[in-house]
Copies of this chain bind each other. A is one copy, B any other.
Amino acid sequence: MNYTYHMPTKVFSGNHCIIENSHVLKSFGNKAMLVTGRSSAKKNGSQDDVVAALEKQGIEYVVFDQVMANPTVACTYEGAAFAKANQVDFIVAIGGGSPMDAAKAMALLAKQDVAEADLFNGQYSEDVLPVIAVPTTAGTGSEVTQYSILTNDAAETKTSIVSDIIFPKVAFVDARYMLGLPVTTTVNTAVDALSHAIEGMLSIRASLVSDALAKESIRFFVKAAPLMCEAVARNDASVLDERVRNDLMQCAMLAGMVIAQTGTTAVHAMGYSLTYFKDIDHGRANGLLLAEYMAVVQESEPQLITDILSALGMTELGQFKALLNQLLGAAEVLTQAEVLKYTAKAVTVKSIEGNCKVKPSEDEVKSMFMEAFHLS
């Protein structure tokens, strides 16, 4: 039973947890930089709450609200320069995975001179701005991971900065910020979180600790599933009440704790191409591939899939496929040529070779794409 467990982020969870624990911010300094996207943090109340907490503690702040979806390397250098110019003591990242991941890279680059060519090499000193994470979607779990996933045009895919130094120091998890999130975003991010929990159980780095968290994460997804299906069927986000929002927030956070230990597997490796070349949402891309990979695993390691299905409250992989179909609808159209290109790309991603309990062959990767996109 060899494993490593590390998840140093201090999590505060609950309605109004930022303002109720604003004293925590004070320990990180006198000037903050808010890192967020252009608009959602302003609309969902999260930015107002952060500002209120900072003001309550007499902490100055500046705002960098230029983070795009799937943030680029260039954006992180820009944010780091802004942090340096404003001499901030810490960063508060507000939003989905994009602002949180971008903020982690900015925190690193604000304190260390790292050339773009070296950004993903994992060789950093200990110096970093503290990051406080305020998730407003329930998906990436970036609030509790050491990953910063950036769009890397040089490599035509997403690439990760991985370092213990970029674990957020604190995460404030308040599901109220998700109220009003559209149905599609809610489902895609939830499926991303579920994919983290399931892939975590299929990783060679899975341990009893990560599996316990993964199963709990899956149970929260299952609790939220009926109302998500209803929201999809009626295309109406108003059925997604505070209870469901909270279930999804906990699902995503627990799944983040899982991938902080395990990393992801073939599903994410394959999904990155769908996002990069076809602009298919990250969570949706994973969801379209997840059951296909589970079917591959089931052939040689059926117990692994039985354990996952058990946490899902299911007995057959077909039931799980049906649920994903209900949530995600019909897959996009892919050509054979695209499948070949994405297959060649996916098999080069290290999470396939280095991280899967069951490593799919190139043929199997191709078959999974074909199956998922009904080309076989």
- Taking Cβ atoms with an 8 Å cutoff, the residues of A that contact B are 1-15, 17, 207-209, 212-213, 215-216, 220, 246, 250, 254, 257
If A1-B246, A216-B208 touch, whether A6 touches B10 (CB-CB below 8 Å) is: yes
Contact between A11 and B5, CB atoms less than 8 A apart: yes
Known: A13-B207, A209-B254, A212-B212. 11 other contacts (CB 8 A): A2-B13, A4-B12, A4-B13, A5-B10, A6-B10, A7-B7, A11-B209, A208-B220, A209-B213, A212-B215, A212-B216
Cβ of A10: which chain B residues have Cβ within 8 Å of it? 4-6, 8
Chain B residues, Cβ within 8 Å of A17: 2
Contact check: which of B3, B8, B250 meets A13 at CB < 8 Å? B3
- Cα separation A215 to B9 with both chains bound (whole Å): 22
Closest to A171 in B: B5
Chain B positions within 8 Å of A250 at CB level? 1, 208
Summarize A's interface: helix, strand, loop or mixed: mixed
Residue of B with least CB distance to A17: B2
Nearest-neighbor residue (CB-CB) of A247 within chain B? B1
Closest to A175 in B: B1
Residue of chain B at shortest CB distance from A2: B14
**Contact partners of A9 in chain B: CB under 8 A:** 6
Complexed CA–CA distance, A7 and B8 (Å): 6
Residues of B near A8 (CB, < 8 A) are: 7-8, 10
A258 to chain B, nearest CB (A): 11
Q: A15 — which chain B residues lie within 8 A by C-beta?
A: 2
15 residue pairs bridging A and B, Cβ less than 8 Å apart:
A1-B13, A1-B14, A1-B246, A1-B250, A2-B13, A2-B17, A3-B11, A3-B13, A4-B11, A5-B13, A6-B11, A13-B207, A208-B250, A209-B216, A209-B254
